[in-house]
């Protein structure tokens, strides 16, 4: 395998090694007020929504994971089949490897082949040229393009980039790419100032990808002979990132540490139009009988999200941000400090 493909497989192995299904995060410090008399019924149709012009069965989706190696092929094939059978969207991992290794296309395109009509998101790094991005979008028949910002990961990565002058290229992508562009972090959280700055450039879709889930600084440190351990704790927690981003009046995807349907529901209550899940789904898939287990888990999450809609007296996804919420004092203090002018 090439160096890039080897790195992809190392990322998968390390994500599995460091995964903790009971890991606490900022969602544990967020609480919702429930009506004792909800006057609702469980309705699976209530969680159906539109995503990039197509109907999906739920507002949560399989977020970016992998691509570009032999193991990635099998994973994306399975995820494509599961997305097709559950009618949810699927975002692929970074396809930037295709710029220099076009022979790795099969490990990405297999997902589209398994799910020819579903919502599929391509993913590239912030320095990918317009020409290369357009080629990737066309090859994958992608409905939208995620562009990831991963400075912390690159610094922790021993062979990572050291030049982060990305704005000019993002401007070109915004001006020339015809599908929707989503600016996405990779587990360290999008800050409000960055969202505000890119909103001025005409970008209106953001995936905050806050801290609390996969920690790419930790993963890269495990590969780095001179690890930078302090980088593992500088991320912006998902709930805080979402609260701040909601002030910018943009289309928001909430991701980063989603562990269960209640986290999904809270993400929607924070203003997320959609909620993305990566490692929680990946680790189920990597276990014995993983395909069937993940397929059934997603179907169960769909039902349980409908249960939560009924519990909280809701019939419309767009009304979820109106649900009263409160935070544990440590989290509230952090939010209050960041909201101060």
Residue 229 or residue 70, greater confidence: 229
Say how far apart CA 123 and CA 102 lie, in whole Å: 15
DSSP states along 115-152: STTS-EEEEEETT--HHHHHHHHHHHT-SEEEEEE-HH
Q: In this predicted model, what pLDDT tens digit does every residue of 163-173 receive, in sequence order?
A: 999 999 999 99
pLDDT (mean) for 179-191: 97
pLDDT score of 4 more than 90: no
Say how far apart CA 249 and CA 14 lie, in whole Å: 36
Show the tokens assigned to 152.
Answer: 């912390």
Beta-strand relationship, 54-56 and 274-277: unpaired
Q: What is the pLDDT of residue 89?
A: 98
Q: In this predicted model, what pLDDT tens digit does every residue of 15-26 receive, in sequence order?
A: 888 887 778 999
pLDDT > 90 fraction of the chain, expressed in percent and rounded? 90
Q: Distance of alpha carbon 208 from its chain centroid, rounded? A: 8
Q: What is the pLDDT of residue 86?
A: 98
CA neighbours within 13 Å on the CB side: how many for 275?
Answer: 30
DSSP states along 95-121: -GGGGT-GGGTHHHHHHHHHSTTS-EE
Residue 341 — very low, low, confident or very high, per pLDDT cuts 50/70/90? low
Average model confidence (pLDDT) across the chain: 95
pLDDT (mean) for 30-50: 97
Show the tokens assigned to 202.
Answer: 């005409």
Q: In this predicted model, what pLDDT tens digit does every residue of 127-180 receive, in sequence order?
A: 999 999 999 999 999 999 999 999 999 999 999 999 999 999 999 999 999 999
pLDDT (mean) for 117-136: 97
Show the tokens assigned to 326.
Answer: 């409160």
pLDDT (mean) for 27-50: 97
Say how far apart CA 282 and CA 219 lie, in whole Å: 15
Say how far apart CA 130 and CA 178 lie, in whole Å: 11
pLDDT score of 7 more than 90: no
The answer to whether the predicted template modeling score (pTM) of the entire model surpasses 0.85 is: yes
Say how far apart CA 118 and CA 89 lie, in whole Å: 7
Ramachandran category for residue 119: left, alpha or beta (phi over 0 → left; psi -120 to 50 → alpha):
beta
pLDDT (mean) for 31-51: 97
The single residue listed with the structure tokens 């890269």 is 220
CA 320 to each of CA 12, 91, 262, 334: distance values in angstroms, whole numbers, following the listed order? 34, 24, 13, 23
Q: In this predicted model, what pLDDT tens digit does every residue of 270-303 receive, in sequence order?
A: 999 999 999 999 999 999 999 999 999 999 999 9
Q: What is the pLDDT of residue 299?
A: 98
């Amino acid at each position: 395998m090439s160096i890039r493909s080897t790195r992809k497989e190392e990322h998968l192995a390390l994500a599995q090694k460091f995964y903790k299904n009971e890991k606490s995060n900022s969602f544990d410090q967020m609480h919702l007020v429930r009506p004792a008399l909800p006057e609702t019924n469980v309705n699976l149709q209530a969680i159906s929504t539109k995503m990039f012009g197509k109907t999906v069965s739920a507002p949560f989706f399989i977020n970016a994971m992998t691509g570009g190696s032999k193991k990635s092929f099998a994973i994306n094939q399975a995820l494509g089949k599961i997305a097709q059978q559950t009618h949810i969207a699927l975002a692929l991992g970074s396809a930037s490897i295709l710029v220099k290794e076009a022979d790795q296309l099969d490990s990405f395109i297999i997902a589209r082949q398994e799910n020819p009509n579903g919502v599929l998101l391509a993913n590239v790094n912030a320095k990918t040229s317009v020409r290369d991005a357009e080629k990737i979008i066309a090859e994958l028949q992608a409905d939208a393009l995620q562009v990831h910002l991963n400075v912390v990961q690159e610094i922790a990565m021993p062979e990572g980039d050291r030049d982060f002058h990305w704005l000019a290229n993002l401007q070109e992508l915004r001006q020339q790419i015809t599908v929707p562009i989503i600016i996405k972090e990779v587990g360290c959280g999008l800050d409000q100032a960055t969202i505000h700055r890119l909103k001025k450039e005409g970008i209106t879709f953001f995936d905050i990808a806050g801290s609390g889930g996969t920690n790419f600084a930790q993963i890269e440190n495990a590969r780095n002979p001179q690890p930078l351990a302090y980088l593992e704790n500088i991320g912006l927690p998902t709930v805080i990132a979402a609260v701040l981003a909601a002030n910018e009046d943009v289309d928001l995807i909430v991701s980063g540490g989603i562990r269960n349907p209640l986290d999904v529901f809270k993400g929607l209550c924070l203003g997320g139009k959609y909620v993305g899940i990566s490692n929680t789904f990946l680790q189920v898939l990597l276990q014995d009988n993983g395909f069937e287990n993940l397929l059934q888990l997603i179907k169960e999450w769909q039902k349980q999200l409908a249960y939560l809609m009924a519990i909280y007296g809701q019939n419309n996804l767009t009304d979820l941000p109106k649900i009263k919420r409160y935070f544990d004092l440590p989290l509230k203090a952090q939010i209050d400090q960041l909201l101060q002018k």
